Chain A
Amino acid sequence: MAPMEKPDYSALRELVHPHIDSFDYFLDEGLEKAVSSIRPVELSDPVSGSKLRISFGKPYLNAPMKEGRLKSSLYPHQCREAGLSYKGEFKVELNLQFDNKAVIRDHISFGHLPIMLRSKLCHLRGASPEELIFHKEEATEMGGYFICNGLERLARLLIVPKRNYPIGMVRKSFRGRGDGYTSKGVVIRCVREDQSSVTIKLYYLQNGSARIGFWIRGREVLLPVGIILKALIDTNDHEIFLSLTSCYNEKYQRQKGAVGTQLAGERAQIILDEVRALSLLTRSQCLEHIGEFFQPAIYGFETEAHSVVAEAVLRDYIFVHLANNYDKFNLLIFMLQKLFALVDQTAAPDNPDALQNQEVLLPGHLITLYVKEKLEEWLHKSIRDIKDEMSKNPAEFEFHKLDAKKISRNSQSIGRAVESMIRTGKVATRSTLDLPQKDGMTIQAERLNFLRFISHFCAVHRGAAFAKMRTTSVRKLLPESWGFLCPVHTPDGEPCGLLNHMASSCRVTSFYDSDGKIKDFLKIRMTILTVLVGMGMASSLPKLEQTGPPEVLHVLLDGCVVGSISSSNIEDAVGHLRRLKLSASSGFPADLEVGHVPLSLGGAYPGLYLFTSPSRFVRPVRNIYQLSDVNHCVELIGPFEQAFMEIKCPDGGEGGRREGFPATHEEIHPTGILSVVANLTPWSDHNQSPRNMYQCQMAKQTMGFSAQAIGKRADVKLYHLQTPQSPIVRTSSYSKYCIDEFPTGTNAIVAVLAYTGYDMEDAMILNKSSVERGLCRGQIYQTETVDLTKKHDKSTRVVEIFARSSDRKMSSSIDSDGLPYVGQKVQPNDPYYSSYNTLTSDIKPTNMKSSEPAIIDFVSVDGTNLKNGIQKANIRFRRPRNPVIGDKFSSRHGQKGVCSQLWPDIDMPFSAITGMRPDLIINPHAFPSRMTIGMLLESVAAKGGCLKGQFMDATPFSNSVNKADDNTSFESSSLVDELGPMLTSYGFNYHGVEVLYSGVFGIEMTCEIFIGPVYYQRLRHMVSDKFQVRSTGVVDQVTRQPIGGRKRGGGIRFGEMERDSLLAHGAAYLLHDRLHSSSDFHIAEVCSICGSLLTTSTLQPQKRIVREIRGLPPAKAPKTFTCLNCRSSKGIETVAMPYVFRYLAAELASMNIRMDLRLSNQQEK
């Protein structure tokens, strides 16, 4: 056998990069930064007056290790099998310092933090496929998720507002902030180095002033903007006035790009007057004012001076991404100018729903800020506890004997909190952490099939809050997401448009450069700055009089106003920046975003916005206007800059672009706009678009190869296709993403004809012989974890272990260890394991609950605690799922159908030439309205491919790329003209039809039948898991009506609408049968005298009578009834009624309402 070519999994690994890179950063730097940014706390002893300063030092995080003394590595497979979490110990240095004495360092364990698979601390990092297999993983294992209690969970990528970019917004809710507030505002989400963020909102007031608002301890504080302006730097009213009005120049009035109006001066005056009205004139007065206001609100500053508090507020809440107060001042001025332009409608508001103004929240960053929050919380709580203790009995408290051990009580809670966040997805915090939502931060990485698994990592969610919104505007597919989010791959229904998937070429910027080193952002910014200054940018820091657009454009670098550049040479500057971005030696990051918003009439606020930050979306395009070097022409662009760029599509057209705007960039391949899953639909460019969406849905719910290491896995439920195939007609993505490692379907010979009538309404006929030969066979693997330690309360200390009784009957189904035999078939209600209770010393078998037989596939026991014997075991069942009537199948073109018959092979139509009988028949009506031409093409192409012995390439849009390469090769662009001659050359019909003969009669069918191989997927919805039948069974205790629920053997509700339809048909008997006879039929005794049905009671048959006829079988005395109310049995009548009616009467009686029944034999006329 020839050595198999080693598959290349790099494209697959690329998909989880955003997850792993962000977590790596958390390990490398983020954690350290977060810990070091926690402010030290001080504790003073009221008795001695000495002080204790507690601060955090260096954090340490270890790779996952097994518990116990033998410190051996814990591998993910073991976690999955034993239901453990894959986590490493987290320690932080705690520094204690008494009265400026020497610092006492101590390592405190803060529990265990979950470790992402294949991150830098994972044992599988960098493991080759062979090593992965050795560790019982998939060869393709990509990591990117966590294991919590044996379950694989991953953090959801969430859309958040773009960091450090002021977004102009119009929102009605802004008016609710208070009197005088308008709907307009400018919002900026500022992100610190440790990835925690504070959102600053600048509201416009009706009187022309503005308020600055931010959230502090769960409450929004609003401050007049003038105070902040004055408090930030030493300045005077004149300077502020000039800065605010600088963007207005009479010369440019109503010209293109003029954003300022003469109203700026008035507004500046109002802002300054407001401050003056509070008699705050100097910076120190302003600081004093702010300090006084915030002292009660922020923690740890109870004893500090007002000015210190104010400095802390400015540092920790106002524009936290900037360190310098001058920068903050300039940014605030810029934001005010943008706000005024927004109000005066000289600039349009930004759309917060557009990807242009968005970025993504990455798992590593989420954990960083969560750990920081939890550490802070813990520190404050332990200080509070010590203080409480001190105040209780200050005399006895030994302040100097405080040590790390005493302080660090309950320190394990941090690991637990983070683990619980990963496990439940709930962020437990009092402050919002500036996160868009508190629930659903993580999801389970289902391995239903491989496509579903990988698309979890590409999924980007808009946020849970938007799911409840009535408006649909957030769900819209906006042009801004072109190339970044897949237009096809979004579910229909509730999460439509909110849950998107990244396009296959889309990436997320990280802290790492291409060499895997952490980027030095300071250095990068300095490089960019020097280049900018070199290109004629007027730097803003040594304070210069600035003007605004249209004369100059402000330059913002990561949310810092670094200067302004003349609008006349901005084009050259942008071009130069892009050139430097492409060259590796410039020190520019390849993913620098050069967002040049050009001057416009009432368009977006102009400026040059540069971003180097992580967690932005980027995608590669070809730069065609600076083709100096062919190798270095692929530029990474972001959604912000994309909106202002001229990118050509390779179909040759100019896309309505006028001559004045030549294309500067070019798409690399049109399939780059589609997600991985959408890219797998062959010729999706020939299908009606919703069909491609359906296919993306269905691809993720097919039975396929969910895992190759299926024998080593302990998932609760896994679907498995016995004999999958690689599709004959395939797109280039199949090989790129190694989908053949996890195939999802079978190439079935599909005939399109109306045959037998069993293929009506999307039903399909399967060939019985094909199924018997193994078509679409599959299994479900279900793992049950039996943990005998959890069976009893821990307090009772009852030990139960697996064991078998000596009973002969048991040994047929249970092995000597109390566990089932592998390979054995277990019938419903048969025992499959038995356990020995050491307290009561009895052995009890446990029976299988499910309603169908299962085969024991695998049994594994947890040997970590063998002191008491085996107490924990995984039992994996295998349930065969061969195709039966009612199972669901689908092609790759959103054409799903249900198997309606397994038709005998001999009755299937056959071809006289080849003798072929189809595996599957679908109805021709499936095509006209759905227009899935791709499926027809697939059939024809697959037929040709079979004859030729080749796989056929069906990459969508490939003809538009071909054309660009050579215009001469094909006159007709029709695919049929390529495929048809291929069929003809093998003696088949050009259009893929064949003459078929009826299998029943042996005569020719009246028309030619379209027949060919189509890749069919078997969907996971199977009747065996869904059917619900009941004749008699359990009834409800209270109402005596049949219960519901398939698991409990209940019936299907015959509801109101069903009742209505029977009523409408006048089907009275059916109605009576369903709602009465087959439900809670009841014969009640009613006293016709008093009309009550509750007061009747049975009379005790007199026992004496029975004794008299002893020897004979006691004849059942007819029950006699009496009315307790009337003390007579004269008026007792029997009435058939629903039992709920009696129940109703009883309920009413409990409320002191009497129900009075009037009985009559007469028919009403």
Chain B
Amino acid sequence: MEGISYQRFPKIRIREMKDDYLKFDLTDTDASMANALRRVMIAEVPTIAIDLVEIEVNSSVLNDEFIAHRLGLIPLTSDFAMGMRFSRDCDSCDGDGQCEYCSVEFHLNVRCDSDQTLDVTSADLRSTDPHVVPVDVAARALSTDPASFDSDQRGIIIVKLRRGQELRLRAIARKGIGKDHAKWSPAATVTFMYEPEIHINEDLMETLTLEEKRNWVESSPTKVFDIDPNTQQVMVVDPEAYTYDEEVIKKAEAMGKPGLVEIYAKEDSFIFTVESTGAIKASQLVINAIEVLRQKLDAVRMQDAEADFKEFSEHMGV
């Protein structure tokens, strides 16, 4: 198709990076791109989660479905999930989803023999693949300082057992995406905000008394503005704290000074916050998301554009 090229070259600038937290700027692109990235991170990046539970013995107080549901929600380390097969696409196991290429088996065998309540936790899950373990187990194994983990916190509690109660089961973890079930979602929170652009009308601001300035500054629930203790001038301390609630603008209008401040959202600049469940690192989550997005675009490109267009125009009745 002919036309102007809208091609742009988005940039990412990483601001803060931890294992399970990432904050970065995405610039030179638009909301559709940013939102697509967000949606893919939540719902399309694959992880591994327990999907099938065979319960042999369950004499605990929780019923089988409840335990199966709880097991499914335990995040498993999924660094290799991108390379793994979906069990529905797996050739080597006839689709029953129990081969080494598409699944990981877990075993749990706990019985309480003491008078104290026994917590069955994710640490009791025995994995057949050392790469796929509950995230808290992995974190403890990696941690250099074992003391940093409280001995009370033995992991994610699955069920509590009393004397004589037993839980024995086999679980199969598979690859999946958050769209199918929330347990496969690697993201705890993914959000982005438009970077705000704040212009204070300095002349108008000077007409305010210090008291008025202070009132105006305090009208924002978040700390966006502050008063310079020396010059007593209002300045923007943290534009990103602005929540677009327009409280300051309303306040200015209420004070009879409309136009005291002008705030715009930059159309092409986004600040992303990504929190991971731990299944994959937050940074990896972004990379995987871009990868998934690219695969999707490839899928579109691979199709016969010509035929596609023909079909489209037929559809439109042209």
Asked if B191 and A779 sit within 8 Å, CB to CB, the answer is no
- Chain B residues with CB below 8 A from A711, complex form: 61
Q: Which of B34, B65, B183 neighbours the largest number of chain A CB atoms within 10 Å of its CB?
A: B65
Write the nearest CB–CB distance from A1125 to chain B, whole angstroms.
63
The minimal Cβ–Cβ distance linking B194 to chain A, given in whole angstroms, is: 7
Q: Is the CB of A769 within 8 A of B35?
A: no
Given A769-B182, A772-B182, A906-B42, answer yes or no on A1004-B244 (Cβ-Cβ < 8 Å).
yes
Min distance, Cβ B121 to any Cβ of chain A, angstroms: 15
The answer to whether A987 and B243 touch (CB under 8 A), given A905-B42, A1001-B35, is yes
Classify the interface of chain B: helix, strand, loop or mixed: mixed
Q: Is A153 an interface residue (CB 8 A)?
A: no
- Given A910-B191, A1002-B32, are A987 and B222 neighbors across the interface (CB < 8 Å)? yes
Contact at A914–B191, with CB atoms within 8 Å?
Answer: yes
> Counting CB contacts under 8 A, is A71 at the interface?
no
Q: Indicate if the CB atoms of B191 and A990 lie closer than 8 Å.
A: no
**Which of B34, B63, B179, B183 contacts A1002 (CB under 8 A)?**
B34
Question: In chain B, what residue has the closest Cβ to A981?
Answer: B221
| B309 contacts the other chain (CB 8 A) | no
Beyond A906-B43, A1002-B31, whether A987 also contacts B221 by CB under 8 A is yes
**A residues in contact with B265, CB < 8 Å:** 1004
A-B contact count (CB 8 A): 100
The smallest C-beta distance from A442 to any residue of chain B, in angstroms, reads 33
CA of A993 to CA of B243, assembled, Å = 11
User: Known contacts A823-B55, A983-B221, A1002-B32: does B190 contact A915 (CB below 8 Å)?
Assistant: yes
B39 within 8 A of partner (CB): yes
Flag B16-57 by CB within 8 Å of A: 1 or 0 each. Answer: 000000000000000110111011001100000000000100
Complex CA distance for A999 and B41, rounded to whole angstroms: 13
With most chain B CB atoms within 10 A of its CB, the pick from A774, A906, A994, A1004 is A906
CB distance from A701 to the nearest CB of B (A): 23
A994 to B73, CA, bound (A): 29
Residue of B nearest to A986 (CB): B221
CB under 8 Å from chain B, chain A span 901-927:
904-906, 910-916
Output the least CB separation between A857 and chain B (Å). 7
> How many whole Å from B276's CB to the nearest CB in chain A?
12
- Asked whether, in the complex, the Cβ of B34 is within 8 Å of the Cβ of A915, the reply is no
B286 close to chain A: CB less than 8 A: no
B198 close to chain A: CB less than 8 A: no
Task: Considering the complex, give the chain A residue whose CB is closest to the CB of B193.
Answer: A912
Decide: A904 and B63 in contact? CB cutoff 8 A. Answer: no
**Residues of A contacting B312 in the complex (Cβ-Cβ under 8 angstroms):** none
List which B49-86 residues lie within 8 A (CB) of chain A.
Answer: 55, 58, 61, 63-66, 69, 73
* A1119 interface contact, C-beta 8 A: no
Q: In the complex the two chains form, what is the Cα distance from A711 to B181 in whole Å?
A: 30
Residue in A774, A823, A913, A984 whose CB lies within 8 Å of B64: A823
A857 CA to B185 CA, complexed, in Å: 31
In the complex, what residue of chain B is closest to A1004 when comparing beta carbons?
B244
Question: How many Å lie between the Cα of A988 and that of B222 in the bound state?
Answer: 7
* A residues in contact with B69, CB < 8 Å: 722, 774, 777
Question: Which residues of A have CB within 8 Å of B275?
Answer: 915
A783 to chain B, nearest CB (A): 15
Bound-state Cα–Cα, A915 to B69, Å = 25
> Which residues of chain A have C-beta atoms less than 8 A from B185's C-beta?
769, 905
Residue contact A1003 to B31, C-beta cutoff 8 Å:
yes
On whether the beta carbons of B221 and A984 are closer than 8 Å, the reply is yes
Chain A, residue nearest B56 (CB): A823
- Whether B191 pairs with A915 at a CB distance below 8 angstroms is yes
Scan A778-795; emit 1 where CB is below 8 A from any B CB, else 0.
010000000000000000
Which A807-866 residues have C-beta < 8 A from chain B?
A: 823, 855, 857
Give A342 Cβ to nearest chain B Cβ, in Å: 65
B245 touches A989 (CB 8 A): yes
Per the bound structure, the CA–CA distance linking A986 and B243 in Å amounts to: 13
Q: Is the CB–CB distance between B221 and A912 below 8 Å?
A: no
Q: How far is the CA of A140 from the CA of B316 in the complex (A)?
A: 68
Give complex CA distance A987, B241 in Å: 9
Residue B106 interfacial (CB < 8 Å): no
Residues of A in contact (CB 8 Å), total 43
A986 to B241, CA, bound (A): 12
Pairwise interchain contact A989-B247, C-beta atoms closer than 8 A: yes
Which residues of chain A are within 8 angstroms of B35 by Cβ–Cβ distance? 999-1002
A773 x B182 contact (CB < 8 A): yes
> Please, which residues of chain A bring their CB within 8 A of the CB of B244?
912, 995, 1004
A878 at the interface (CB under 8 A from B): yes
- A982 shortest CB reach to chain B, Å: 11
A881 to chain B, nearest CB (A): 11
Question: Least Cβ distance of B24 to chain A in Å?
Answer: 14
* Cβ–Cβ contact A772 & B183, under 8 A: yes
Q: Which residue of A lies closest to B35 (CB)?
A: A1002
Residues of B within 8 A of A1001 (CB): 31-32, 35
Distance in angstroms between the alpha carbons of A914 and B275 in the assembled complex? 11
Q: Is A953 an interface residue (CB 8 A)?
A: no
CA distance A986 to B63 in the complex (A): 40
User: Nearest-CB distance from B239 to chain A (Å)?
Assistant: 13
User: Which residues from A are CB-within-8-Å of B66?
Assistant: 722
Q: Is the CB of B273 within 8 A of A915?
A: yes
Q: Which chain A residues (749-790) contact chain B, with CB distance < 8 Å?
A: 768-770, 772-774, 777, 779
Q: Which residues of B contact A916 (CB under 8 A)?
A: 189
Q: Smallest distance from the beta carbon of B301 to chain A beta carbons, Å?
A: 23
In whole angstroms, what is the CA distance A904 to B183 when docked? 13
Name the residue on A nearest B270 (C-beta): A1002
CB-CB under 8 A for A912 and B191, given A777-B69, A855-B64, A906-B43: yes
Contact A772 B181 (CB under 8 A): yes
1/0 per residue, CB under 8 A from B, across A692-728: the answer is 0000000000000000000100000000001000000
Task: Point out the residues of chain A lying under 8 angstroms from B191, CB to CB.
Answer: 910-915
Instruction: Tell me the complex Cα distance, A737–B98, Å.
Output: 51
B193 near A914: Cβ-Cβ < 8 Å: no
Q: Please tell me if the beta carbons of A989 and B181 are within 8 angstroms of each other in the complex.
A: no
CA distance A905 to B243 in the complex (A): 22
B64 touches A905 (CB 8 A): no
For the complex, what is the distance from the CA of A995 to the CA of B191, rounded to whole Å?
13
Nearest residue (CB) in A for B181 is A772
* CB-defined contacts of A987 to chain B, threshold 8 Å: 221-223, 241, 243
B243 touches A913 (CB 8 A): yes
In whole angstroms, what is the CA distance A910 to B64 when docked? 34
Instruction: Report yes or no: B181 in contact with A1002, Cβ–Cβ below 8 A.
Output: no
Known: A910-B191, A912-B244, A1001-B31. A878 touches B63 (CB 8 A): yes
Cross-chain contact of B43 among A905, A914, A915 (Cβ < 8 A): A905
Residues of A contacting B31 in the complex (Cβ-Cβ under 8 angstroms): 1001-1003
B residues near A (Cβ < 8 Å) are 31-32, 34-36, 38-39, 42-43, 55, 58, 61, 63-66, 69, 73, 178-179, 181-183, 185, 189-194, 221-223, 241, 243-245, 247, 265, 273, 275
Given contacts A823-B58, A987-B222, 8 further A-B contacts (CB under 8 A): A768-B182, A769-B185, A905-B182, A906-B38, A906-B43, A912-B192, A983-B221, A988-B221
A-B contact pairs, 6 of them (CB 8 A): A773-B183, A855-B64, A857-B63, A985-B221, A989-B245, A995-B244
